[in-house]
Amino acid sequence: MDPLHGILPLDKPLGISSMKAVAIVRRRAGGARTGHAGTLDPLATGVLVLALGKCTKQIDSLMATEKRYLTTIDLTAFTTTDDVEGERTEVALGTPGARPTPPTRGEVERTLAERFTGTVMQRPPAFSAMKVGGRRAYALARKGEAPELAARPVTIHSVAVTAYEWPMLSLDIHCGKGTYVRSIARELGEALGTGGHCTMIRRTAVGEFTIDRAVPIEAVPERVTQEWLDSLRPPSPVAR
C-alpha cells in the first residue's frame, strides 16, 4: 500500500518533461505511485497536477477538466514542431501564399472569434504524444516519418488577445481536454496567411488548480510527507 496519498499541483519549469517531473516527485515521496493529469511539453511551463497514492484514481477526472494557457506566437514562420525547437519555414509578407501586409489586431480577433472559438476541428502537432499504429507520433516524427494526424474536435471556450505588436501575438486561452496550443498557433497562421508557432506556453489552470496554488519544483521537499501534502489543500470555507 502506498504510504502517501494526495494531489500536488506543480509549477513545472522550462526544459524538463512531465514524466521527469513525475520521477522527481516519486523519488522524494519514497516511491509512492505518482502520475500526472495531462502532459506539458518540455518547452512549456506551469500547472502540472500530480496525483500520489490512491489519488491516482482521480487522474482521468482531473484530465477531463478545463485548462487555461498563456502563449506568445511568432507569426513570421511555421516550424516542424510548432514551437521554437523545430526547423523554421519563413513566411515573408508579399511572397506567394502569404499576405501583403501584417494583419491588424481587429482581423486577428475576428479570426479567433470566428474560427477558433467553440467546438472546432484541430489537427494535432506531428510532434505530440498522440498514438499512430500503437506508436507515439513524436517518436515517428523524430525518425523522419512525420505522421499525418487526422483533425479531431476540441472545445475552445475563449481566446483573448493580451498583446499584439507584429509579428508577436500573445493570447489567453480557455479550453477543454485535448486542445493543443501549438496547433492553435499553426492553424491561426494558416488562417491569417502568415506563419505561426509558439515561442512560449504557460499553463495557468487545470480545473480548480490555478498557478497561484502551484508549487515550484525546487520547493518540493527532499522528503515529501503526508503532512506536507495535506498542507497543500485549500482551507475549507468557514460556515456562516
Residue 83 has a pLDDT of 94
Are the C-beta atoms of residues 45 and 14 closer than 8 Å to each other?
yes
Superfamily of structural domain 6-64+207-231: Pseudouridine synthase (3.30.2350.10)
CA 38 to chain centre: 8
Pull the grid cell for residue 218: 525546487
Q: What is the pTM of this model?
A: 0.90
| CA pair distance 8, 25, nearest whole angstrom | 9
**41 is a catalytic site residue:** yes
Residue 161 has a pLDDT of 98
Q: What Å distances lie between residue 64 and 122, 152, 178, 217, CA to CA?
A: 18, 16, 9, 24
Name residue 14's beta-bridge partners: none
Task: Supply the CATH classification number for the domain 67-205.
Answer: 3.30.2350.10
Q: Which entry of 2, 11, 41, 83 is annotated as an active-site residue?
A: 41
Q: What Å distances lie between residue 61 and 78, 141, 240, CA to CA?
A: 34, 30, 31
- Cα end-to-end span (Å), the chain: 39
The helix or strand, by DSSP H or E, that contains position 137, with its residue range, turns out to be helix 137-142
| CA pair distance 77, 97, nearest whole angstrom | 13
Examine domains 6-64+207-231 and 67-205 and report if their fold is the same: yes
Q: Mean pLDDT for each 10-residue chunk of the chain (240 residues)? A: 85 94 96 94 95 95 96 96 92 91 98 97 74 50 59 95 98 96 97 97 97 96 96 61
| CA pair distance 162, 181, nearest whole angstrom | 15
Residue 96 has a pLDDT of 86
User: What are the residue ranges spanned by the domains of the chain?
Assistant: 6-64+207-231, 67-205
Q: What is the dihedral of CA 52, 174, 44, 188, to 10 degrees?
A: 150
Residue 170 has a pLDDT of 98
Residue 233 has a pLDDT of 82
Residue 3 has a pLDDT of 82
User: What Rg do the C-alpha atoms of the chain give, in angstroms?
Assistant: 19
**Locus of grid cell 516511491:** 31
Residue 130 has a pLDDT of 54
Residue 239 has a pLDDT of 40
Residue 147 has a pLDDT of 61
